Amino acid sequence: MTMANRLGLLGGSVDYSNAAEDEFHDWLDTEHIPERLRIAGVLNAVRWLGVENPRISLVIYDLENLQVLNKPEYLAVSFENFSPWSKRILGTKIRRVTRFACEQMDPGNAIAPANAGGLAVYAMNVAPEFEAEFNQWYDSEHIPALSATPGVLCARRFLSKGGTDHKYVALYHLQSPGICDSPAWKWAMSTPAAKKINEYTANRLHMVMRPYHRTK
């Protein structure tokens, strides 16, 4: 698959503990997400909340390609062009957990499944001198082992092109968050190679999420 055919991913996670819950959800559901879904090339938007801390919010967007983020339509609703409501929420009400804008490495063109009941997010940086070993392990052992775990619906791996918090991101869509507690999942996370590779990584982020459903 050529790089031009690889899907992109935009994701943002925040802790909204200091925001009014109803206003935060209204802002995302009625302004922030609809603005982005109107942009050609933004394929979907899915919201998640933390299992351990429900005030951790994550929104992920699949993109036709990463160049969607350079479109005038996207730039018109981003950063210095945020609306007053967005500036107030983002500037004073929430704490950023992570943001990623990356390209799908594996399988390359998979869209997030619509029926997932859970999501596991892993993001990290890797010491440059160990990246080749890290990628070989991920492709040959880690992704296959987790993909074969019962209850895993989709396993996708992403590479940031710069300007985000983590260079590598992996998303695992699950039947339920409890899949992360299964023996098969725990085994894949604790193989000798996995323990060795962890020594080469930094700024690690792990989140287990459940789907967000608007209640009113």
Each of the 216 residues of the chain gets a pLDDT tens digit; together they read: 455 579 999 999 999 999 999 999 999 999 999 999 999 999 999 999 999 999 999 999 999 999 999 999 999 999 889 999 999 999 888 999 999 999 999 998 999 998 899 999 999 999 999 999 999 999 999 999 999 999 999 999 999 977 688 999 999 999 999 999 999 999 999 999 999 999 999 999 999 999 999 887
Q: Report if residue 53 sits inside a domain.
A: yes
CATH number at residue 198: 3.30.70.100
pLDDT of residue 161: 79
Domain range for 121 is 3-211
Show Cβ contacts of residue 174 under 8 Å, excluding neighbours closer than 6 positions: 116, 117, 118, 119, 120, 151, 152, 153, 180
**Domains: count for the chain:** 1
Q: Report if residue 186 sits inside a domain.
A: yes
- Residue bearing tokens 């940031």: 160
Q: Report if residue 57 sits inside a domain.
A: yes
Show Cβ contacts of residue 120 under 8 Å, excluding neighbours closer than 6 positions: 171, 172, 174, 177, 179, 180, 206, 207, 208, 209
User: Please, where are the H alpha helices in 69-182?
Assistant: 72-75, 84-88, 131-137, 143-147
> pTM of the full predicted structure?
0.94
Q: Report if residue 216 sits inside a domain.
A: no
